Structure 1
Amino acid sequence: MGGGLLASSRLVPLFVGLLICCQLALLVEAIAPLRVAVRVLAFSVSLVLLALVRGRSLKHPALPFILAALGITSLQLFNPGTGAPLAAVAQLGIQLAIAAPLLWVTRLAIDPKTFRRTLALLFFFNAASAGVGVLQVYFPGRFQPALSAAVQGQGEGYVSSLQFETSDGVRVFRPMGLTDIPGGASTGGFYAVLLGGGFLLSSRRGLTRVLSVGGILVGLFGIYLSQVRATAVMLVVCLVALAAVLLVSGRVGRFLALLAVVGTAGVATFGWAVAVGGDAVMNRWASLFAASPDEVYHRNRGYFLTGTFADVLPEYPLGAGLGRYGMTNAYFGDNSDRERPPLWAEIQWTAWVYDGGILGVLFYPLGVLMSLLWAFRVARRRDGPQDEFWLWGSVLFAYNLGAFALTFSYPFFMSQTGMEFWLLNAALFGALAHAKTVHPHRR
């Protein structure tokens, strides 16, 4: 990298491109021996950029809380419960890498065009992932990547539970998309719908609108076939939040356009998914309405949340130490140590307890909530006719709310999705700050 590139806002879309390449590389069987290196690469590059990108970081409202959370996590190195040193250092490094975009991205002078290009990369990749997932159901075995070794290691019974029988009587995996995990296409579907909605409402060009509607259709279809209810609930939360912000801001026309497109697409693609997936798809989604929402959540993921505060937090009020759960434990941990057995974190709140105890479940969630409030303030802006900050602030507010909701379903901020969260928040924050510098009369 030259000095010019390290000072250029092009680093942001290039970094997103790297994340995409790492994801695609995991699907290549020849790279299987280097799987750990590929998984670590994106996190390592984030740390390298943190060290090499020069300048003064802008103070995003979430930054003080996230730095406090990272400081508390770093103290876990001295916790007697910390496992293998390599696993502990790796876990701390990954958490720093996930939050690092809050620092290095805001050192760059990001313009609206670069921010939009970054979102376009995410939109096209995730729409493609959802589309490949659809093909995996239509043409069983032809577009199927190798199944993740971690999934295979769960046993034959678990692997079988990730399959379903289509209306043609063929047994297939829940669509993986451009991942190696059954149901992975749902993540692509989520981004395709949410970002597609943003481009649909912001663009005045016919081709962009057509691509946006296409992404929304494919995304919804992929989610229905994947049968990942947590992602669907997150998407509903995001869309309701986006619609509410549009109404509160007095943008009724945009609200009606979003409602018309997503509402029509939601109904049409559900019927399409049932026609292709048969009773398995219908029964899976019907289970969401078999009882009250709190009962459905408690039966599926809620007991992990209850257990976190009833059992895990009292046992580890100051944290459990580092390197004892998740990817770092699987790759670098020493599970032969009976005094420090491996731990399991099904939801983010459990991970926060392990990493910082009482303070862990205080500071990091506060940082996420500050990002949510800041995005809401941006959504209420009154930009000029050529500005889109209010719109992308609305989309980001919806996305942030959905991400916060997902912390109750899986460890969102212990993966690449968490890094994308902070990157998008930092990129919009930096773009808005740059616009104020160029046009100081804007508020």
Structure 2
Amino acid sequence: MTVPQLQGPGVLRRRYVRRAPGASLEAVPEGAPSAMRRATAGGGLLASGRLVPLFVCLLIGCQLALLVEAIAPLRVAVRVLAFGVSLALLVLVRGRSLKHPAQPFILAALGVTALQFFNPGTGAPLAAVAQVGIQLAIAAPLLWVTRLSIDPRTFRRTLALLFFFNAASAGVGVLQVYFPGRFQPALSSAVQGQGQGYVNSLQFETADGVRVFRPMGLTDIPGGASTGGFYAVLLGGGFLLSARRGLTRVLSVGGILVGLFGIYLSQVRATAVMLLVCLVALAGVLLVSGRVGRFLALLAVMGTAGVATFGWAVAVGGDTVMQRWSSLFESSPDEVYHRNRGYFLTGTFTDVLPEYPLGAGLGRYGMMNAYFGDHGDRERPSLWAEIQWTAWVYDSGILGVLLYPLGLLMSLAFAFRVARSRDGPRSEFWLWGSVLFAYNLGALAFTFSYPFFMSQTGMEFWLLNAALFGALAHEKTVHPHRR
């Protein structure tokens, strides 16, 4: 018998196994990880794609737990829990990982970071171990997610969970402005530690003359609702373009409206600019792929929603909102960026990199330094990383600013290839490839604004990219005729 050749990453050819006694034969790729074969044969949860949406539920649960004042004494444990589970799954999920195109570069970057243990600048041992551990946990989904058998439905369910949570976060942010103090969580201790002047700067006066914090949403940081709005709009656009039922369209449009309104009220201009970049990228991919109808639908919905929600936000937020957003057009985009975040990028390459070409050592910045660092060590004082590029220099020197961004570019390239594919009339991979391409571009842009890959959002990034990669491999296994 001739063994049919299959298309798709990590898939060479197929062989047949029985899922259970008496069950029919099912094709499984010979090159697939053993976890996929066990799942096909009736493996448990640790071999099932259901683990991915369950992990997303854990991430959401940890975020919500931080809003409960009674859990304040366990705040550090809650923050660490999601990262610890990601590391545990790296061990518990058995099998061989499919090789995502970004994997070699990210693992190389982590290896260079681990070598910082021998850097004389490395501070407290516990902070150093925690620094490597959190970075490994953030990138770990690249390894353990691709060992699972993920079907398209599971991938879509994962995206739906993220969409609903972020839309809810933006929605709560809107309620925080409409009903001051009623839906307000406790302010982050890190924000309070910056002093009353800084706290006051995070408030604004509404059209009714009431001073409120920039909407936090389901976070404890003023302006945090903008992050929920960003993902609600981007993922909502994807669900809108893929919707086959009226309810899905209604929910998608609702998420887009609430997300844009939350961004405008939060007044976080960097998030709005990044969202615009993502939507332009998504529209561009649709055009390049010849999907003009989808492009026009996206343009009509986003354009109408953008104008309508801005007028709504100004009516609620008053002159403060108008002045904040109009400042984006007072100067050229590069001048606006330089005044807000650009000087951190310039300083990274003119000052920080020449001082630490091989890295500054581990555990000297960020939350790991705050929680576990030795703040009495005068020879290794704490450092500050406002953007991801500075963090890469601290962790790995010049190799860090080369390897990790190369991994991001490989993720972009893979998503773009998926976006341009033609997998049949009922396949949605091209659409989610388009959305993920825009999402990845936004993540790359966020590295110029804050340390994206030192947070839970960075772990979600690798989770989604690995899930798309694994789901596509699974689909090519089940439907080998699709290209």
The alignment's TM-score, normalised by the length of structure 2, stands at 0.91
What residue in structure 2 maps to residue 197 of structure 1?
237
User: Distance between the aligned counterparts of 1:377 and 1:121, measured in 2?
Assistant: 25
Tell me the CA shift for residue 182 of structure 1: 0.2
User: Distance between the aligned counterparts of 2:477 and 2:423, measured in 1?
Assistant: 15
Q: Deviations over 1:43-92 (max 9, x none)?
A: 00000000000111000000000000000000001110001100110010
User: Distance between the aligned counterparts of 1:283 and 1:301, measured in 2?
Assistant: 19
User: Distance between the aligned counterparts of 2:150 and 2:372, measured in 1?
Assistant: 37
User: Distance between the aligned counterparts of 1:344 and 1:89, measured in 2?
Assistant: 19
Q: How many residues align?
A: 442
User: Distance between the aligned counterparts of 1:88 and 1:256, measured in 2?
Assistant: 50
Q: Deviations over 1:136-164 (max 9, x none)?
A: 00000000000000000011111111000
Q: Deviations over 1:221-270 (max 9, x none)?
A: 00000000111011000000000000000000000000111100000000
Tell me the CA shift for residue 214 of structure 1: 0.2
What residue in structure 2 maps to residue 64 of structure 1?
104
User: Distance between the aligned counterparts of 2:164 and 2:325, measured in 1?
Assistant: 27
User: Distance between the aligned counterparts of 2:245 and 2:423, measured in 1?
Assistant: 20
Structure 1 residues 3 and 437: alpha-carbon distance in aligned structure 2, compared to 1, 3 A threshold: closer
User: Distance between the aligned counterparts of 1:205 and 1:340, measured in 2?
Assistant: 59
Q: Deviations over 1:187-218 (max 9, x none)?
A: 00001000000000001100000000000000
User: Distance between the aligned counterparts of 1:82 and 1:280, measured in 2?
Assistant: 45
User: Distance between the aligned counterparts of 1:432 and 1:100, measured in 2?
Assistant: 19
Of the structure 1 ranges 378-387 and 137-146, higher mean CA displacement relative to structure 2 is found in 378-387
Q: Deviations over 1:290-325 (max 9, x none)?
A: 100000000100000000000000000000000000
Tell me the CA shift for residue 385 of structure 1: 1.1
Tell me the CA shift for residue 24 of structure 1: 0.1
Tell me the CA shift for residue 383 of structure 1: 1.5
Which residue among 223, 227, 236 is the counterpart of 1:183?
Answer: 223
SS at match of 1:164: strand
Tell me the CA shift for residue 3 of structure 1: 6.5
User: Distance between the aligned counterparts of 1:227 and 1:383, measured in 2?
Assistant: 40
1:426 matched to 2:466? The reply is yes
SS at match of 1:386: coil
User: Distance between the aligned counterparts of 2:267 and 2:122, measured in 1?
Assistant: 37
1:303 matched to 2:343? The reply is yes
User: Distance between the aligned counterparts of 2:110 and 2:167, measured in 1?
Assistant: 33
What residue in structure 2 maps to residue 140 of structure 1?
180
Which residue among 357, 370, 377 is the counterpart of 2:397?
Answer: 357
What residue in structure 2 maps to residue 223 of structure 1?
263
What pairs with 1:230-269 in structure 2 (closer than 5 Å)? 230-269=270-309
SS at match of 2:315: helix
Q: Deviations over 1:91-136 (max 9, x none)?
A: 1000000000000000001000000000000000000000000000
User: Distance between the aligned counterparts of 1:3 and 1:327, measured in 2?
Assistant: 38
| Structure 1 residue ranges without an equivalent (≥5) | none
Tell me the CA shift for residue 442 of structure 1: 1.4
Identical aligned residues as a percent: 90
Q: Deviations over 1:354-408 (max 9, x none)?
A: 0000101000000001000110000000121110000000000000001101100
Q: Which has the higher helix share?
A: 1
SS at match of 1:3: coil
Tell me the CA shift for residue 176 of structure 1: 0.1
User: Distance between the aligned counterparts of 1:196 and 1:64, measured in 2?
Assistant: 32
User: Distance between the aligned counterparts of 2:198 and 2:123, measured in 1?
Assistant: 28
SS at match of 2:384: coil
User: Distance between the aligned counterparts of 1:155 and 1:334, measured in 2?
Assistant: 23
User: Distance between the aligned counterparts of 2:208 and 2:43, measured in 1?
Assistant: 57
Which residue among 43, 52, 74 is the counterpart of 1:3?
Answer: 43
Tell me the CA shift for residue 440 of structure 1: 1.2
What residue in structure 1 maps to residue 143 of structure 2?
103
Tell me the CA shift for residue 333 of structure 1: 0.7
Tell me the CA shift for residue 342 of structure 1: 0.2
User: Distance between the aligned counterparts of 1:208 and 1:278, measured in 2?
Assistant: 33
1:345 matched to 2:388? The reply is no
Tell me the CA shift for residue 335 of structure 1: 1.0
User: Distance between the aligned counterparts of 1:14 and 1:230, measured in 2?
Assistant: 31
1:286 matched to 2:326? The reply is yes
User: Distance between the aligned counterparts of 2:113 and 2:327, measured in 1?
Assistant: 38
User: Distance between the aligned counterparts of 2:43 and 2:124, measured in 1?
Assistant: 38
